[in-house]
Structure 1
């Protein structure tokens, strides 16, 4: 399959039904940080875009949501795939993005370059979708905050080493700041900016 064919193939087979299902997963994930959800449907996304990340793009991105991609995704058929299936304009400026997608193995240098919203409109911020190695194995983190009864522990494999520091800086901006969705293949886990993270 050539690059052009990869970019034009795939997508939701039942767009309304599938996008509603993924949207509900994301809303539940944001309401209950640390819970893992799995995307069951095959969407035919091109590598290195993961299945869950691709489903998130199909659900949330549209012509009004400038989308930033890390270098590996930008150079791959994934950039044209997202543009074709969602209509989202691909931007090279982090400060313009509503959504940002980062492939596995890449560590964001800073969350501060993305849109953090304003005091009046904190929701007008970037949501980062970061692919990691696996959910449910690897480094243990303790989460607490709204939507979590006392604390919960999650295990994340391949999380960038700088992530806890970047998250602490992000938390300091509250109510401003970015929200993060971690993806690993078919699985996803949401970290809204209200969540506190401690490394075990």
Structure 2
């Protein structure tokens, strides 16, 4: 039976737009994520190596292609879940199963951070296995247009400033609670047009008074 043009376009959406050079592209993104996690507040520029279906952004998609696989359940927020092409594209390129609940997710892709559920709903890890927590990939519009946040902690010489936008509601207070659960807690990867920044659970965050 011949495939209609509409069906062919839909199938093409699911399989095109991945890494052109999977090994080298994944290595570049992984290095950027690790550098950003080691130095909170810094921005690691990355090339646009993926072309996912909207509303998934190229940077967030590249991070997902790098970190997710068939052993890492992936949760999508409603903004991304409403477009079937996003789930199909991620499933084809990563093999990651969709997590039924936030607490089941190894990774969470968030297309609308401002409407995100509370961080405490995601897997927090355990005292014995703190790495069994969810890493959230937040698709943000900018890393410099939001409220100025002052960062302190490991990987920061004295202090650092960042201003991502948008962020979850009551973010600073939520983050204080997240830090209080250490060594448990979630980590954040911020995917923006200008690059990747990270907020590991060890980072102290407060609003800048400057």
Q: Is the counterpart of residue 58 in structure 1 residue 68 in structure 2?
A: no
Stretches of structure 2 lacking an aligned partner (at least 5 in a row): 1-5
Q: Is the counterpart of residue 82 in structure 1 residue 90 in structure 2?
A: yes
Bigger share in strand: 1
Superposed counterparts of 1:31-180, under 5 Å: 31-76=38-83, 77-104=85-112, 106-180=114-188
Contact (CA 8 Å) 1:61, 1:86: kept in 2 or not?
A: yes
Distance change >3 Å, CA 36–CA 72, structure 1 → 2: same
* Equivalent residue, structure 1, for 2:197: 189
For these two proteins, the number of residue pairs brought into alignment is: 200
| Alpha-carbon distance in 1 for matches of 2:116, 2:20 | 33
Aligned residue for 2:196, secondary structure, equals strand
Stretches of structure 1 lacking an aligned partner (at least 5 in a row): none
Q: Which has the larger radius of gyration?
A: 2
Note the aligned Cα RMSD (angstroms).
Answer: 1.5
Aligned residue for 2:145, secondary structure, equals strand
Bigger share in helix: 2
Deviation at 1:26, TM superposition (A): 0.8
Deviation at 1:143, TM superposition (A): 0.2
Deviation at 1:140, TM superposition (A): 0.6
The more displaced of 114-123 and 101-110 is: 101-110
Structure 1 runs of 4+ with >4 Å offset? none
The more displaced of 63-72 and 130-139 is: 130-139
| Alpha-carbon distance in 1 for matches of 2:165, 2:123 | 27
User: Once the two structures are superposed, what CA deviation does each residue of 1:35-86 show, in whole Å capped at 9, x if it has no partner?
Assistant: 1112203311111111111011000000000000001211211111111000
Q: Taking structure 1 as the reference length, what is the TM-score of the superposition?
A: 0.94
